[in-house]
Amino acid sequence: MSSQDPWWSQAVIYQIYPRSFFDSNGDGEGDLAGIALKIEYLKSLGIDAIWLSPFYKSPNKDGGYDVSDPRMVDPRFGSLADFGRLVDLCHENSLRVIVDLVPNHFSSEHRWFQEAIAAEAGSPARQRFHFRDPNSDGSPPNNWISLFGGSTWSKAPDGQFYLHLFDQSQPDLNWENPEVAADFEETLRFWLDRGVDGFRIDVAHGLVKEEIEKDHYAPELLSDALRLDIEMEPARRSEILATVPFFNRPGVHEIYRTWRRIFDSYDRDVVSVAEIWVHPPEEAALYVRPDELNQVFNFDLLTTPFEADALFESISGAFSILEPVGALPTWALSNHDSPRVASRLGVSQSQALAIFLLALPGSFYLYNGQELSLPDGDVLDSDRQDPVYFRTQGLQKGRDGARVPLPWSADEVNCGFSTARPWLPIAESWRELSVEAQEKDSASSLHLFRRALSIRQALVDSGSNIAWIESQSAEILAFTRGDFLVLLNTSREDQDFASDGSIYMASNEMTSADGSTIYLPPLSSCWVTRAK
């Protein structure tokens, strides 16, 4: 990486879901002070930054993404002083801090929405949101479907409807209203002035809506639209989302140009990463043009099978989409909204793929617990809290399994996460996956990730150009980057690869080299230093 490149261009960024990280005060929920207590652990991973999922004031009906005050810390997580101490501590330990921004909607408990509900139809208070009269038969203004299931419309006490792409407790903001834009600019500066190093922008493609008075879904699409989620077959999801009038509208780009001018006014590199699902995928490049945002999440890998051809298409496609605007991809295999990769692909596969991706140019986003190869937690229906589960009447189980708190101890109550009952239960079987247990095992997933992150800089210093290599096996992916050869064996059989290099890093300790051949165990990857 050139000294001229911004810090985030090839960083490893660790996503923390605060409620599930570590509980400092024994109330069953993680908090900001708990994150600060684990700063040595975070530093030991070899990461460059942390990304905090929402910790703002919220009734917590959607895991904090229903924000009732975007410039206040929710008491469940601590105080602004706690946040300031955490930022200072991270910076003292050479860790940057990225925070979530939720501009598509507010909580229904935000003072603006409370004012809107109390106001008359057509009032300035209602114009901050999307309020509409019902159809003549009393039905909602259109047939749009919420991404959490059911209609995007809920009825206000006076009979008007308000729009919400997600839960009814999350009314969408009207970005044509200048008050909305001004308020978010104030929020950006509020957190930047408190030292944050960037923002992850939630539903970044969803701020602008068009043709609100019109139906969108044809009858034959309605049944699938009612169950639109990450587990849907990607082609079908693309078909449904390709023309929706509430995502990826041209108007979003002027918003981000304005934000970029704010980011660039600060005397440090401020990163902005967009959570977007756009169709066709090539339109992702529009969000990272030189005068807009810096990064977009590459979500293809959250659904790509562990097959060489599919992975090649996904990875090479990410480069080709962003190359015209001079941007690098981001790589992520799990997050708070998707099944954990260890459950989706398997532990060996998830580790092998992570090591392979860490060798690629671009940023790598690591979801808390992925370094432990945690699976999805088993959550009883009686313990579920995700609104997706309730709005779909249990048809979709929701995202709680990916949000189960982290296990820290093999011996302490609740695996050391909290002295109180955790907000989601932690399985007893997770004791053997705890940080404490894995610290003691040199062959553990935790040590694998630490080794990879501690020596990854050598690949980063090799430059940002890679060259794919054709392998004799259709189940091996191979590329070179500078002085390194990187291999991934997606098969369940041993594989050989002709190379005169030596093993620098491997996901499986059985990987070996004899001077002319690399021997790859099943479901493994490695970095090879090539002979000069």
User: Residue 147: its pLDDT value, please?
Assistant: 83
Instruction: Tell me whether residue 345 is in a domain.
Output: yes
Closest CA relative to residue 430, chosen from 457, 453, 405: 405
Lowest mean pLDDT among 171-180, 379-388, 435-444: 379-388
Residue 18, CA distances (Å) to 58, 103, 237, 254, 527 in order? 13, 20, 30, 32, 33
Sign of the CA dihedral with 372 first, then 359, 300, and 284 last: positive
Q: Which residue, 454, 483, 508, sits at the end of a domain?
A: 454
Contact of 110 with 154, CB cutoff 8 Å: no
Per-chain mean pLDDT for the chain? 94
Residue 237, CA distances (Å) to 227, 232, 247, 277 in order? 10, 6, 13, 10
Q: Which domain holds residue 130?
A: 111-163
Rounded distance, CA 522 to CA 349, Å? 9
Contact of 454 with 358, CB cutoff 8 Å: no
Write out pLDDT tens, residues 450-471.
999 999 999 999 888 999 999 8
| Residues 300, 187 within the same domain | yes
| Residues 379, 440 within the same domain | yes
Residue 4, SS3? Answer: coil
Write out pLDDT tens, residues 262-309.
999 999 999 999 999 888 889 999 999 999 999 999 889 999 999 999
| Residues 329-336, mean pLDDT to the nearest whole number | 96
Instruction: Tell me whether residue 460 is in a domain.
Output: no
Write out pLDDT tens, residues 32-53.
999 999 999 999 999 999 999 9
Helices (H), 275-428: 308-322, 341-344, 347-358, 387-391
Instruction: Give one DSSP letter per residue of 100-158, joined into a string.
Output: EE--SB--TTSHHHHHHHHSPTT-TTGGGB-EEPPPTTS--SS--B-TTSSBSEEE-TT
Q: Which residue, 454, 479, 503, sits at the end of a domain?
A: 454
Instruction: Tell me whether residue 261 is in a domain.
Output: yes
Instruction: Tell me whether residue 212 is in a domain.
Output: yes
| Residues 41, 133 within the same domain | no
Rounded distance, CA 14 to CA 367, Å? 6
**Predicted confidence band of residue 237 (pLDDT cuts 50, 70, 90):** low
**With 70 as the cut, is the pLDDT of residue 518 above it?**
yes
Q: What is the CATH number of the domain that holds 360?
A: 3.20.20.80
Instruction: Tell me whether residue 425 is in a domain.
Output: yes
**With 70 as the cut, is the pLDDT of residue 223 above it?**
no
Closest CA relative to residue 126, chosen from 163, 85, 94, 87: 163
Instruction: Tell me whether residue 438 is in a domain.
Output: yes
Half-sphere exposure of 286 (CA within 13 A, CB side): 18
Q: Which residue has the tokens 């099978």?
A: 305
Q: Which residue, 397, 431, 454, sits at the end of a domain?
A: 454
Contact of 66 with 170, CB cutoff 8 Å: yes
The secondary structure of residue 234, as a DSSP letter, is: H
* Number of domains, the chain: 3
For 498, the token pair is 């002709």
Other C-beta atoms lying within 10 Å of the C-beta of residue 119:
16
| Residues 130, 218 within the same domain | no
Q: What is the CATH number of the domain that holds 476?
A: 2.60.40.1180
Write out pLDDT tens, residues 286-297.
999 999 999 999
| Residues 162-182, mean pLDDT to the nearest whole number | 97
Q: What is the CATH number of the domain that holds 126?
A: 3.90.400.10
| Residues 205, 96 within the same domain | yes
pTM score of the predicted model: 0.94
Residue 414, SS3? Answer: helix
Contacts (Cβ under 8 Å, ≥6 apart) of 125: 112, 115, 116, 118, 119
Rounded distance, CA 417 to CA 411, Å? 11
| Residues 187, 249 within the same domain | yes
Closest CA relative to residue 102, chosen from 154, 61, 47: 61
Rounded distance, CA 207 to CA 226, Å? 21
Rounded distance, CA 370 to CA 402, Å? 10
Q: Which residues are catalytic?
A: 202, 275
Q: Which amino acid is at 69?
A: D
Rounded distance, CA 511 to CA 336, Å? 32
| Residues 86, 192 within the same domain | yes
Residue 415, SS3? Answer: helix
Instruction: Tell me whether residue 169 is in a domain.
Output: no
Contacts (Cβ under 8 Å, ≥6 apart) of 180: 128, 173, 174
**With 80 as the cut, is the pLDDT of residue 239 above it?**
no
| Residues 362-389, mean pLDDT to the nearest whole number | 94
Q: What percent of the chain has pLDDT over 70?
A: 94
Contacts (Cβ under 8 Å, ≥6 apart) of 171: 105, 106, 108, 113, 116, 129, 130, 162, 163, 164
User: Residue 1: its pLDDT value, please?
Assistant: 47
Rounded distance, CA 253 to CA 235, Å? 26
**With 70 as the cut, is the pLDDT of residue 416 above it?**
yes
Write out pLDDT tens, residues 79-132.
999 999 999 999 999 999 999 999 999 999 999 999 999 999 999 999 999 999
Instruction: Tell me whether residue 174 is in a domain.
Output: no
| Residues 142, 188 within the same domain | no
Q: Which helix (H) or strand (E) holds 448?
A: helix 445-455
| Residues 217, 301 within the same domain | yes
User: Residue 214: its pLDDT value, please?
Assistant: 87
| Residues 133, 271 within the same domain | no
Rounded distance, CA 504 to CA 484, Å? 9
Half-sphere exposure of 152 (CA within 13 A, CB side): 28
| Residues 337, 415 within the same domain | yes
**With 70 as the cut, is the pLDDT of residue 494 above it?**
yes
Write out pLDDT tens, residues 69-79.
999 999 999 99
- Long-range pairs for 257-266: beta carbons < 8 A, 24 or more residues apart: 257/291, 257/292, 258/181, 258/185, 259/185, 259/188, 259/293, 260/291, 260/292, 260/293, 262/185, 262/188, 262/189, 262/192, 263/188, 263/192, 266/192
Contact of 389 with 396, CB cutoff 8 Å: yes
| Residues 40, 128 within the same domain | no
